[in-house]
Amino acid sequence: MSGNVLADVSGSTVDPSEIGVGARPLALGRSFVGFSDDASDIFINPAGLARIRTPKAVSMTGQLLQDINYTVIGGANPTDWGTFGIGYINVGLSRIPLTTITGSPGSEEVIPAGSTNYFASVTTLSYSNELSKIDLFKNYRNITYGLNLKYFTQGFTGGGSLVSDAGGTGMDMDIGIQYRPRKELTLGCSVLNALPEGLGGRFTWAKGNVVENIPALIKLGGTAKMFGKDSYYGGNQSVYLGLDLDMHPTQPRPAVYHIGAEWWPISVMALRVGIDQQPKGTDAGVGVDNNLTGGIGLKYNGYTFDYCYHQFSDLSDNTTHFFSIGYVGKDDSLKPMDEKKRAIPIIVASASLENFSDVGQGHWAKNPIELMATLNVMNGYHDGKFRPDEKVSRAELAYMLIKLKGSGVSDVSSDPFSDVSRNHWAAKYIKAASDTGLMTSYPDGTFRPDSKVTRIDGVVILSRFTQAQEPANIQKDPYVDVSRANNAARYLVAAQSYGLLDYLIGKKFEPNKELSRAEVAEILSKTGPGKDKIRSYLQTAAR
């Protein structure tokens, strides 16, 4: 008799994205479901793509277990309609020996019959956006979602009739979500290969048209920024911690954890370490391997190079080295020299500034908030809190502008506007802001003092307040979500040039988002009057 030693491959669909996700996520032990600043999100949690502000790209090569070649390439680009991405992963194994067996039982003869090459690939198309952009969920801020459409191929090349029709194609979908309850914490969930067979999630083998499900994988986890800007503890060096849990609902495999840490001692280099748990077969059934991972990342002028060391089981021969080259855009932390010159060092002891129980050491706007409160431009609340995330009304903004400007105000003897009584707490500040042209009424003659100030309206007002020079013409869109044809574009460009919007470098503008008290404190501290008052206060305090 004769036979093929290659087992029937039906029933063994491979998803290459279980390994090939980029050197950075692998170095972090694949604890990446809560990260949101890398094109590798395409393969792990597409919801993270909605938070990128510049085009991203990633590529990776590596040789798994000394024989299996991995290739990864992907890219994502933010637009006004959401973030779109595309990714491709290929895994290949070359020169697999083929044999035939002849003879009767007990006297079989194994005869070499050449070799074949195995491959498996997945092509991914991604889309991600903020959930609040959907009218039904407009109140669900800080939540993003993402979808992947995936096309699989798997099979053999070469080998003649022994491996003919031993391949196939398939389709499936990933879905993901991220929630950022705080600036320093991001939680995520993704379901890879989420479609059941009845809805199109299946792989079809050419041989016999055998159809099977592609194994689903549920990933839960999050990333916490422990140190650095917008972190729990503040500081100049960024440190991230990630923890993910993987579950396999359609397979008898145990849940596994992924743990990782990333430290940026300097802005151009990161050190990474992690534990990447993976199921493994044992004499007692299915166990778990604790694979140690580590790596280094370099970033310069928007380009990245990442290296990953990854154990696979406890055999030294299985240790794998992965390399990635990518693009993440210009480093927002490396500001041009003219912007650095505009910065005002905070040299006064924090004890001499107003402080608040809800503005901790790691808060991104701690210094501006405390300075504006100390200068009596902004006030805290009776409970000792500042409420930095609370939105600012038009009446409050008028008060702050006039207080910062330092111009005198007079009591009003009549109602400044039809909807602003002379007895309104901010009436004299509203009238002063109107008289000086800082703030104007609406076409119907109302001021709407309680209306919250949107980001685009606020920046127009604050740009006028600073008398920032407007450009003669605008060559490009000021932000990915604000066209240069927008009526307010010239004010945004002027505000950018003046330095009012440094805190938004590398981010979307989100024009309809309402300004928070923390944002207003930050912007006011960058205005001319704000800098003058801060400088005068610091000089006085230093004496």
Q: How far is CA 189 from the centre of its chain?
A: 14
pLDDT tens digits, one per residue of 99-134: 677 766 766 777 776 777 888 899 999 999 989 888
Pairing mode, strands 109-130 and 143-157: antiparallel
R_g over Cα of the chain: 29
Q: Is 489 helix (H, G, I), strand (E, B) or coil?
A: helix
For the chain, the domains span: 16-327, 337-542
Question: Angle formed by the axes of helices 394-405 and 427-435, to 10°?
Answer: 70
Confidence of residue 515 (pLDDT cuts 50, 70, 90): very high
Read off the tokens for 472.
């003669």
CATH T-level fold of 16-327:
Porin (2.40.160)
Decide which of 250 and 424 is more confident: 424
Read off the tokens for 40.
């590798």
Query: Does the pLDDT at position 185 exceed 80?
Result: yes
pLDDT tens digits, one per residue of 419-457: 999 999 999 999 999 988 889 899 898 999 999 999 999
Phi, psi of 343 (to 5 degrees): -70, 145
Phi, psi of 254 (to 5 degrees): -70, 155
Pairing mode, strands 82-102 and 109-130: antiparallel
Read off the tokens for 17.
């994205």
pLDDT at 316: 61
Task: Give the separation between CA 368 and CA 353, rounded to whole angstroms.
Answer: 10
Q: Which of 169-173, 206-210, 280-284 has the lowest mean pLDDT?
A: 280-284
HEC letters along 166-197? CCEEEEEEEEEEEEEEECCEEEEEEEECCCCH
Structural contact between residues 128 and 48, judged by C-beta atoms closer than 8 angstroms: yes
